[in-house]
Amino acid sequence: MLTLTGPEYTAPEVFQQERERLFAQQWVYAGRSELVREPGDRLVIDAAGESVVVVRDRLGRVHAHHNVCRHRGARLCDETGGGHGGAITCPYHAFSYSLDGALVATPNVGPEELDRTALSLWPVAVAEWEGFVFVSLAPYPPLLGDWLDTHDGLTQRFARFALGELRIGYQTVSEVRANWKILFENYAECLHCPRVHPELVEIIPHYRTGAVIDAERADEGVSLREGANSFTFSGRSSLPARRGMSSTEESSYYGAAVIPTMMIDVTGTSVMVTRLVPRAADHTTVSTEYLFRADAVADPAFDPTEVVTFSELVATQDYAVCERVQRGVGSRAFTHGVFTQKDSLAYHFTQRYRAEMAR
């Protein structure tokens, strides 16, 4: 089983093709629904190199628009945040749009000068699942649930975790000098774990074998060490376990890769959600949302430091080896690498990638 070729990891022209054939045709993860909880809150993201703004209207409906004014093309919104009121107003000429995208105000420009009904913001497809917002630049994207289930039946596998009830307790952003596919391949294998992640294999002893999946379990989970329930240096967290989990689930770890922009990591006390934003063939922005029980986050004494510190250490270790791979695959000697049997999930990722790119 062969890896992708060197140019597929390094060539700018391949990266541009990916934007058009893959990222612009799929659903991409935008962020948690709570970031647009109130009317006027806005979530500004990069989707396949396009700036997209996500908002929620007064009826609770979520909308997504290209972040471009229809008048002269100015960027409308600069950053994610709340307190913006019930309209999207262009900073250039103050043309204003309702949250559903309709042009509603054109200062100093009379209705006889242009047809407002023909100048709504360009729409972007948007959908929600379990508190996660996804957008798609495709004109006719598949139903989000159907698409998610092409990732090993994700909606059914993770339904029992009630992810929609969780809230963001912490967020981090890292700039990684590596191709986004290298990050996914690294996520999909654990041959590197004994050497690169000594702290992680203390918490998940199964990873000492180099295997990701525990073949003796039918639920695709792996057991934490005895008495552990979280990703911390001790394996235990002072934060409350998530509601409704069985004792087996509470002491296990479950992971899912939602190609091309998302990874979900579930433990007994927290969920880590990673969003990948490819910037160039050798540059990926990685943002992580740490989710916890809503009542825990609302507690004035809430402190996720023990979870965040451990998880960010593991992530930093991954980023370092992924950057090392990026430097290596740029060699003229590298035509392709090889996958071992324990790299099978990484191999399946590359097969899916090539199938999507060939469409």
Q: What would the pLDDT profile of 181-218 be if each residue is shown by its tens digit?
A: 999 999 999 999 999 999 999 999 999 999 998 988 98
CATH code: domain of residue 60:
2.102.10.10
Cα 236 to chain centroid, rounded:
26
pTM score, whole prediction:
0.96
Cα 149 to chain centroid, rounded:
16
Closest CA to 1 of 265, 343, 352: 343
**157 and 90 housed in the same domain:** no
Q: What is the dihedral of CA 170, 247, 232, 179, to 10 degrees?
A: -70
Kindly state whether residue 8 falls inside one of the protein's structural domains. yes
Residue type, 134: F
Q: What is the dihedral of CA 129, 134, 136, 139, to 10 degrees?
A: 40
pLDDT at 93: 96
Which of 117, 141, 165 marks a domain boundary?
141
Angstrom distance (rounded) from CA 262 to CA 183: 11
Show the domain range for 72. Answer: 28-141
pLDDT digits (tens, 9 = 90+) for 31-40: 999 999 999 8
**134 and 159 housed in the same domain:** no
- For the cut 90, the answer to whether the pLDDT of residue 100 exceeds it is yes
pLDDT at 184: 98
**113 and 158 housed in the same domain:** no
- For the cut 90, the answer to whether the pLDDT of residue 242 exceeds it is no
**159 and 266 housed in the same domain:** yes
Residue type, 121: L
**232 and 292 housed in the same domain:** yes
pLDDT at 96: 96
Angstrom distance (rounded) from CA 15 to CA 6: 12
- Cβ-contact 168, 289 below 8 angstroms: yes
Which of 115, 141, 167 marks a domain boundary?
141
Kindly state whether residue 241 falls inside one of the protein's structural domains. yes
pLDDT at 44: 97
Kindly state whether residue 248 falls inside one of the protein's structural domains. yes
**94 and 47 housed in the same domain:** yes
Kindly state whether residue 35 falls inside one of the protein's structural domains. yes
**116 and 206 housed in the same domain:** no
Kindly state whether residue 36 falls inside one of the protein's structural domains. yes
**133 and 179 housed in the same domain:** no
**94 and 200 housed in the same domain:** no
- Cβ-contact 283, 176 below 8 angstroms: yes
Kindly state whether residue 147 falls inside one of the protein's structural domains. no
pLDDT at 86: 86
- For the cut 90, the answer to whether the pLDDT of residue 173 exceeds it is yes
> How much is the average pLDDT of 131-160?
96
Tell me the pLDDT band of 254, cut-offs 50, 70 and 90: very high
pLDDT at 65: 98
**131 and 180 housed in the same domain:** no
**303 and 197 housed in the same domain:** yes
CATH code: domain of residue 286:
3.90.380.10
Closest CA to 9 of 178, 132, 192: 178
pLDDT at 111: 83
Mean of per-residue pLDDT scores for the chain: 95
- For the cut 80, the answer to whether the pLDDT of residue 30 exceeds it is yes
pLDDT digits (tens, 9 = 90+) for 259-316: 999 999 999 999 999 999 999 999 999 999 999 999 999 999 999 999 999 999 999 9
pLDDT at 218: 87
Domains contained in the chain, number: 2
Kindly state whether residue 146 falls inside one of the protein's structural domains. no
Which of 86, 116, 141 marks a domain boundary?
141
pLDDT at 189: 97
pLDDT at 35: 96
Angstrom distance (rounded) from CA 19 to CA 149: 22
**43 and 178 housed in the same domain:** no
Tell me the pLDDT band of 112, cut-offs 50, 70 and 90: confident
Kindly state whether residue 355 falls inside one of the protein's structural domains. yes
Dihedral over Cα of 111, 115, 118, 122: its sign:
negative
Tokens linked to 110: 């009379």
pLDDT at 110: 86
Tell me the pLDDT band of 63, cut-offs 50, 70 and 90: very high
- For the cut 80, the answer to whether the pLDDT of residue 84 exceeds it is no
